[in-house]
Structure 1
Amino acid sequence: SPASATPVVVPDATAELAGAPRLSRLTRTQVLAAAPLPPDLAREAVVDPVVPADAGALPLGVGMWLYVPEEIEGGDVDALVARAQQVGLTHVYVRTGSSRGGFYAQAYMDELLPKAHAAGIRVYGWDFPYLEDVDADVSRALAAATYTTPSGDRLDGFAADIETASEGTNLTAEGASAYSERLRAAVGEAYPLVAVVPRPSPQMQTRFPYQAVVPHYDAVAPMTYWLNRQPDTDVANDVSFLSSFGKPVVPIGQAYDGALEGGRPGPPPPEEIQRFLASAQQVGAAGTSFWSWQHADQAIWDTLQAAREFRWEAKPPAELRPDQIRGLQAQLTSLGSAVPVSGTWDDLTTGAVRAYQERAALPQTGVLDAATLAVLMAPFNPPVPGLASGDNDQGGIDLGVVRLGS
């Protein structure tokens, strides 16, 4: 029968080329269990879907930042993954090192990456470069990006936390540009890089070299901590300014007590978290995340779980919100099926979806059906130059637990 037919496998003609990514394999049963197709399309889906892994994915949806593992669910990775699934997180950022501490997260990554990936949650690394020795900072970032766990998992991408001199760094436009340019050269054009930058207040725009940094990255994540101001006006300003660089903006919201920085005491109340999310969605952010897991109180977690912003849904084009279409367009572009990020579904978007479906060995419906969404959001090892193609293979992704518009 078609359901048990031998999968059609495209020969890996580039397998002998160093750095040539292989397509991650997903069984047809896994995809259809997570995302059932109509009977007519199911009959057509006689090949195993694959996750096209020739270009990496952006951190879209809603994520959370991990800082001190022992203070995150008591160091229990299983509890971390369970909460992430319950809340509906699409990704987390894990601190991998700094100029002072080196690359130190290997043991934690060994446990976190396979469990998060099996649950359909992407994991991005982040590092704090002091920019005193740019080459050492780049080497450390590359070590994290290429680190492979015993299970064969790697980070889904990497975020560079580029801070000002007030945080102890040796920030200059020249140094930040050199670091960013060399990091991009080291990981290659297809590897997802995120620039973490101070929120661009009018004062910060005169102090921080945004123009020297942002162009080298695939997305930009301003630290939109509103403290004693308002979340909606802050995030609107940040997205407006940074969108001028032509990169998806994925602001980081405040989920910690900002009193020591002059903010209102205590973590932000639910009403402020909700206003941040609603405004970020309205002004065109591609996704969002919060700093940080260990500082968020239960009220924040409950608010995130109930929020509908930045939720991916498998729906006909006419039923998708503009922000959902923007997110899809940004992700397709990141994954190598480029389309203008307009927030409007047009023929170019239909064509990009079909192109991605063809690469993924899915029925070419041209719409965001559930099977396409499952593959689109699946974690995988992004390509890095110099790694053998086998090191780019990601096995064991269980799409049966990917959240589909829930």
Structure 2
Amino acid sequence: MKSFRFKALLSALALSLVAGSFFSRARAGELNPPAGIADGPGIWMNLWSYPKGDLDAYCLNLHNHGIRNLFIQTSRSNTESIRQKEVLGNLIDTCHKYKIRTIAWSFAFLESPVTDAHKLVDAARFKTPRGSGFDAVAANLEKDLTASRVEQYSKVLRDELGQDYPLVAVVFSPLNKAPQVARTPWKLLDRYYDVIAPMNYWNSKYKKFDPYQYTMDTVKEVRHLVGRPDVEVHVIGDGMKTGGEEIKSFMKACMDCGATSASLYPFHQVTAEQYKTLSFYSEYFPVNSRYRLAAFKELKSQGAFPRVGLDPSRPISRGEYYQVLAGRLTGKHDLDALDSEKILSSYGFFADLSAESRSLDAAIGHREAYKLAARLVQARSKAAASGLKIDGANPVNLFKGKKRADRWFVQPASAETTHPRFETLNYLDAAQIILATSP
């Protein structure tokens, strides 16, 4: 159901990464971004909080604070499909003028799943005066999570909108203790929706939780319940009278657990402090986080990363990184870590690299990973020019007499070795670097 959409992501990924560092904002901006939620922060808007007055000024303010997704409620089960059509149309057009994605969302009671689903279908098909429309739709499922009703509702959405239309499932965090949460059909949601968006509200009615730990545990549990590490998780943060420090902790957790994107559900309106804090979003998320996930998904489907488990934000070991590189170099994907190191060494991959300890069990750092990825590309080029076959049978040192460090891949200027973000490589970053070496 989702293979076509990920192939589209990956074709764009290959272009972006061959051009250079995957943290380059300029190069990422040259691509047609994937459909649906954009890389960048989002905010949520209720039916009763549509902006009044100057829409251009409103959207310019969003843009200036880095907001790239506006989630606009279009209906509830007890309302018509589209309210305030004129305001909505102008809002969508103005958002698109400022490169802000618009995602329609609807609160579905699921007393009548088919009727509820058609409300969101109507939103997906809504057209503005300029012929534009929503970039995705999000189903808010929190009242009735009976599997049969959720499936009936979700099947209508997918059948009506097609296999390639971006669908987001908005559900409670699995940490929420409300009785209906235990009935959430996670694997069913994963079958119909492209993105799982847990409502990660750490300020509950009865108890306040630490935003960092609550977010970490939410994402971990979503992956566990869905049953795969490459599920796309968009985390909805608690904007109910929360301040800057809480939101920073929330975004830090999103970074550390490898969540793909995040947004804030405010208390009626986003505060000035919340806007300011969201403007620092890029300090916590890679600029092309969705491409990174697509790369991980693709390589995993090819058999890479067998030891990742359910957490792709974990550091990848040097040995496992070597295995993937050696497999892509020789076409042999059954090599163990030690044999992979020997093959890479025999082809000269470690020539002129620092003599630091290369423990296969230790986590690999970004600097070494970039250099070896560059060597893989260069090795293919040198072998082709010399008419050599690279299969591991009769290896030749392709880098004999090498005098300078590789520059094909370069670390971002911000990627100092002392920065925690770059000390070790996680599976998501490893996938993005390795897929860039594809011929």
Alignment partner of 2:217: what SS? helix
Which residue number corresponds to residue 136 of structure 1? 115
> How large is the Cα RMSD of the aligned pairs?
3.6
Identity %: 25
Residue 160 of structure 1, aligned match among 110, 135, 139? 139
1:94 corresponding residue in structure 2: 72
In the alignment, is the contact (CA less than 8 A) between 1:64 and 1:293 conserved in 2? no
Secondary structure of the residue aligned to 2:263 is strand
Q: Please tell me whether residue 232 in structure 1 is matched to residue 232 in structure 2.
A: no
2:260 paired with 1:281 = no
C-alpha change, 1:255 and 1:202, in structure 2 (3 Å) is closer
- Report the counterpart of residue 126 of structure 2 in structure 1: 147
The yes-or-no answer on 1:270 pairing with 2:250 is no
Question: Which residue is equivalent to 1:115?
Answer: 94
Of 239, 242, 256, the match for 1:255: 239
Could you say what secondary structure the match of 1:176 adopts?
Answer: helix
The residue aligned with 2:171 is 197
- For residue 266 of structure 2, what is the aligned residue in structure 1? 292
Deviation of 1:276 (Å)? 0.4
Q: Residue 275 of structure 1: CA displacement?
A: 0.2
Q: Matched residues in 2 for 1:217 and 1:249: separation?
A: 11
What displacement does 1:138 show? 1.6
Q: 1:63·1:90 contact (CA, 8 Å) conserved in 2?
A: yes
SS of 1:56 mapped into structure 2: coil
Structure 2 counterpart SS, 1:241: helix
Bigger Rg, structure 1 or 2 = 2
Q: Deviations over 1:7-55 (max 9, x none)?
A: xxxxxxxxxxxxxxxx9xxxxxxxxxxxxx99xxxxxxxxxx8848xx7
Are positions 1:214 and 2:177 aligned together?
Answer: no
Q: Any idea what SS the aligned residue of 1:85 has? A: helix
Distance 1:253 1:293 in 2: 12
Letter in 1 for 2:247: I
The 1:293/1:72 distance shift into structure 2, 3 A limit, reads: farther
Q: Which amino acid aligns with 2:191?
A: P
CA distance in 1, matches of 2:411, 2:72: 30
**Shift of residue 61 of structure 1?**
2.1
Report how many residues are paired. 281
Partner of 2:276: 302
Deviates more, 1:94-103 or 1:205-214: 205-214
Secondary structure at 1:103 match in 2: coil
Highest RCO, 1 vs 2 (Cα 8 Å, sep ≥ 6): 1
Q: 2:292 aligns with which of 314, 329, 348?
A: 329
Structure 1 contact 123–156 (Cα < 8 Å) conserved: yes
Distance in 2, matches of 1:83 and 1:368, equals 33
* Equivalent position SS for 2:89: helix
Q: Secondary structure of 1:197's partner?
A: strand
In 2, are the aligned partners of 1:61 and 1:310 still within 8 Å (CA)? no
Q: Displacement, 1:332?
A: 7.2
Deviation at 1:98, TM superposition (A): 1.5
Match of 2:41 in 1: 62
Question: Partner amino acid for 1:236?
Answer: M
> CA 1:86–1:202 in 2, change beyond 3 Å: closer, same or farther?
closer
Work out the CA distance in 1 between the residues paired with 2:267 and 2:88.
16
1:156-206 CA-partner distances (Å, limit 9, x unpaired):
000000013xxxxx4422101211122112111101000000111174552
Q: 1:145 to 1:276 in 2, by over 3 A?
A: same
Amino acid at match of 1:97: S
Q: 2:54 aligns with which of 76, 97, 101?
A: 76
Structure 2 regions of 5+ residues with no counterpart? 1-7, 9-18, 21-29, 302-311, 329-372, 374-407, 413-439
1:177 partnered with 2:151: yes
CA–CA distance in 1 between the matches of 2:145 and 2:197? Answer: 18
Residues 40 and 282 in structure 2, CA contact (< 8 A), matched pair in contact too = no
The amino acid across from 1:67 in the alignment is: N
Q: TM-score, normalised by structure 1?
A: 0.61
Q: What is the deviation of 1:330? A: 3.2
Specify whether residues 292 and 211 from structure 1 end up closer, same or farther in structure 2 by C-alpha distance, changes over 3 A only: same
The amino acid across from 1:129 in the alignment is A
Give unpaired runs (5+ residues) of structure 1. 1-22, 24-36, 39-48, 165-169, 257-266, 314-323, 351-364, 370-406
How big is each residue's C-alpha offset from its partner over 1:42-83, in whole Å with a ceiling of 9 and x where there is no partner? xxxxxxx8848xx733343210011146x4554532122111
Separation in structure 2 between the aligned mates of residue 187 and residue 81 of structure 1, nearest angstrom = 28
Amino acid in structure 2 at the alignment position of 1:253 = G
**Structure 1 counterpart SS, 2:121:** helix
Q: Is the 8 A contact 1:72 1:293 kept in 2?
A: no
